[in-house]
Structure 1
Amino acid sequence: MELELSTPALLFSAITLLMLAFTNRFLAIANLIRSLHKTYMDSMEQEILVEQIANLRKRLSLIKNMQLFGIISFLLCVVCMYLLFRGFTEAANWVFVGSMGALLVALALSLIEIQISTKALNLELKDMEEVFDKRSSLDFIFKKDSKKNE
């Protein structure tokens, strides 16, 4: 397969959309950290805050690395297009492979971050379930709905 100038150009939109998603995740984490900081300063006795802080620290590191590999992928895409424009097809092929590899790493890190964020949500659910006498939140909802129907 011969690599054409339009091939790496197609990645531009995908990479920029990924970078936007990664940035949105970063902003959401920043808001969570600020909110958690306020909660921590108000009551330092809650044990779940320590778990949430550790979770957010991991997620923040992963998001930083996701953004790093996304940027590397984007830069390699630009270099690939330049090499194709100059006629260095063999070098452009290798740079394109590097760009795809960096994109793959960014996506893998994104998957790991999603898994960790799910754990964070489970921490929140666990905390709320303790308030409802250790009943699952779905049981609570269904019991509430059945009372409405009677």
Structure 2
Amino acid sequence: MTLTTPALLFPAISLLLLAYTNRFLVLAQLIRELNAREGDQVRPFVTKQIDNLGKRIRLIRTMQGWGVASFLFCTLAMFALFVEIPLVGTGLFGASLVALIISLLTSLYEIRISCDAIEIELESIGQKK
């Protein structure tokens, strides 16, 4: 394996972390809006939304953690390959890929939870009819 192999992951991991951060910021804004809109009297469907949003925030934090771990392992793999320790470099690159896979699987689960939030909204709209 050459030094450029782990370097190929750098742009992908960076973009992934940016996407995760954007998801986090959108959720944080939505939570603030819900809090401002509802005040002291929280409707039942909003309670469901809040639970869902809390779950999603925790998942995004996990996604970000594994993404950062992947980035760190990738960087360490490049360093090991640079100082000509190929076995360590290969192992670290493998760890980077595993961390990236965990991050992506967590992201997939968070997307499923996100769909649940939309169903809660639809349920709320259905009750207004």
- Bin the TM-score by the shorter chain: over 0.9
- The equivalent residue for 2:5 is 7
1: CA distance, partners of 2:114 / 2:8: 30
2: CA distance, partners of 1:36 / 1:63: 19
Structure 1 residue 39: Cα displacement: 2.0
- The equivalent residue for 1:33 is 31
1: CA distance, partners of 2:23 / 2:61: 10
Q: Which has the larger displacement, 121-130 or 11-20?
A: 121-130
Secondary structure in 1 aligned to 2:123?
Answer: helix
Structure 1 residue 40: Cα displacement: 2.1
- Say which of 123, 128, 131 aligns to 2:128: 131
TM score, norm. by length of structure 1: 0.83
2: CA distance, partners of 1:58 / 1:45: 18
Equivalent pairs counted in the alignment come to 129
- The equivalent residue for 1:92 is 89
2: CA distance, partners of 1:104 / 1:61: 18
Letter in 1 for 2:119: N
The share of aligned pairs that are identical, in percent, is 43
- Say which of 110, 125, 139 aligns to 2:107: 110
TM score, norm. by length of structure 2: 0.97
- The equivalent residue for 1:67 is 64
- State the 4+ residue runs in structure 1 displaced beyond 4 angstroms: none
- The equivalent residue for 1:48 is 45
Structure 1 residue 130: Cα displacement: 2.0
Letter in 1 for 2:68: I
Secondary structure in 2 aligned to 1:44?
Answer: coil
Structure 1 residue 45: Cα displacement: 4.4
2: CA distance, partners of 1:5 / 1:21: 26
Root-mean-square deviation (Å): 0.9
Query: Please, which runs of 5 or more residues in structure 1 have no aligned partner?
Result: 133-150
Letter in 1 for 2:87: E
Query: Please, which runs of 5 or more residues in structure 2 have no aligned partner?
Result: none
2: CA distance, partners of 1:45 / 1:69: 34
Structure 1 residue 131: Cα displacement: 1.9
Q: Which has the larger radius of gyration?
A: 1
Structure 1 residue 126: Cα displacement: 1.1
- The equivalent residue for 1:145 is none
Letter in 2 for 1:109: T
